[in-house]
Amino acid sequence: MLTTLISLGDGRSLLVDPPLFPDEARAIQDFADGKGLRIEWLLVTHAHGDHACGMAYFPEASVIAHEGFWTFWKAIELQDRRFFSQVLPGIELPILRHPNFLVGDRMSISFARDLIVRHVPGHSPDGLMVELPEEGLWIAGDTVIPLPLVSSGSIGELLHTLRGLLGRWRGESIIPGHGKVLSGEEARKAMEDNINYLVSLREAVAEAIVRGKGRDEILRIPLADFGIPGATMAGLAAWIHRENLKRAYEELSGGA
Ligand SMILES: [Zn+2]
């Protein structure tokens, strides 16, 4: 996953998505120290363990998150802890603390540079992204990743968010929650590919329901049908796709 340290001038800085592992947090702290930066604020793009739990390694920093962050975290905490204990045996997620500053739809932060924080629901209900307008940078959290994941979000909301981003994209580079930094055409195409996958996913599941196929059969619709290589997201693509099929089935069958 990607973590971003933003200098705000006068030795202050804001860290977007503190890392999950203590050695990574130590390395970021050392990097900030080397640059003469105090990490005064953490901005957590959403309440998933890999983006939020690293706050434990920066106990002095004030935490900024969406106003829905805490409720969402409490709803998924057990499930998220179980997931990470399976994929990262031996790692126990640290305890989260309640954020200090809550963002609604939009917030501006102005020091030596300007930041705009926006609510971008879809991957999760509490998604935030950070824009640096002068630098042409969008720090997107998991709103833009190589293969969208909507297991604890909403396909319709993510499509609405992504279409909105694509519509006002003017060449900004995107720092996704996972993968690599995307610049120029690559950034535009990543958003377009995410949208196309979600639209095709919904169509495929809707069609299967109309044809009377059952849930188990629908959950076997292969990722290859969507032209996405299985090696995407460090081999997690097949798991992500199955989670998305479950979400699509729930949304389209009325939760049956
Ligand atoms: Zn996430």
**How many of the other CB atoms lie within 10 Å of CB of 124?**
30
In angstroms, the CA 61 to CA 42 distance is 6
| Interatomic CA distance for residues 143 and 124, integer angstroms | 8
CA of 57 to the centre of ligand 1 (A): 19
List of residues 6+ apart from 194 with CB closer than 8 A: 144, 145, 148, 158, 162
Q: What's the structural domain count of the chain? A: 1
pLDDT the model gives residue 49: 95
> What per-residue confidence (pLDDT) applies to 91?
83
pLDDT at 137: 98
CATH code (residue 66): 3.60.15.10
Q: For residue 229, how far is its CA from the centre of ligand 1 (angstroms)?
A: 20
Measured distance CA(240)–CA(233) in Å, rounded: 9
In this prediction, residue 18 carries a pLDDT of: 98
Interatomic CA distance for residues 53 and 58, integer angstroms = 10
Going from the Cα of 43 to the center of ligand 1, the distance in angstroms, rounded, reads: 14
On the CB side of 183, CA atoms within 13 Å amount to 2
Q: Is 50 within the bounds of a domain?
A: yes
Q: What is the pLDDT of residue 234?
A: 76
pLDDT at 8: 97
Question: Residue 18: how many CB atoms within 10 A of its CB?
Answer: 26
* pTM value > 0.85: yes
182 within domain boundaries: no
Instruction: Give residue 255's pLDDT.
Output: 62
Distance 209 CA to ligand 1 centre (A): 28
C-alpha distances out from residue 190 to 66, 146, 151, 196, 214, Å = 25, 7, 20, 10, 32
- Whether 162 is in a domain gets the answer no
Across the beta sheet with 106-110, what order do the strands follow? 106-110, 114-119, 128-132, 137-141, 173-176
d(CA 200, CA 20): 33
In a domain, 199, yes or no: no
Domain span at residue 19 reads 4-143
* Alpha helices (runs of H) in the chain, residue ranges in sequence order: 22-34, 49-52, 69-87, 155-167, 185-210, 215-218, 237-252
Show the tokens assigned to 17: 């998505």
Asked if 122 and 157 count as a contact pair (C-beta separation under 8 A), the reply is yes
Closest CA to 43 of 159, 126, 152: 126
CA 37 to centroid of ligand 1, rounded, Å: 27
Calculate how far, in angstroms, residue 148's C-alpha sits from the geometric centre of ligand 1.
10
Is 252 inside a domain boundary? no
- Other C-beta atoms closer than 10 Å to the C-beta of 204 total 16
Q: What is the pLDDT of residues 201-214, one digit of tens each?
A: 999 999 999 999 99
Residue 116 lies in a domain: yes
- Å from CA of 60 to ligand 1 middle: 24
Low-confidence ranges of the chain (pLDDT < 50): none
Domain assignment present for 46:
yes
Residue 114 within a domain: yes
* pLDDT attached to residue 233: 78
Task: Tell me the average pLDDT of the chain.
Answer: 95
Q: 45 CA distance to ligand 1 centroid (A)?
A: 8
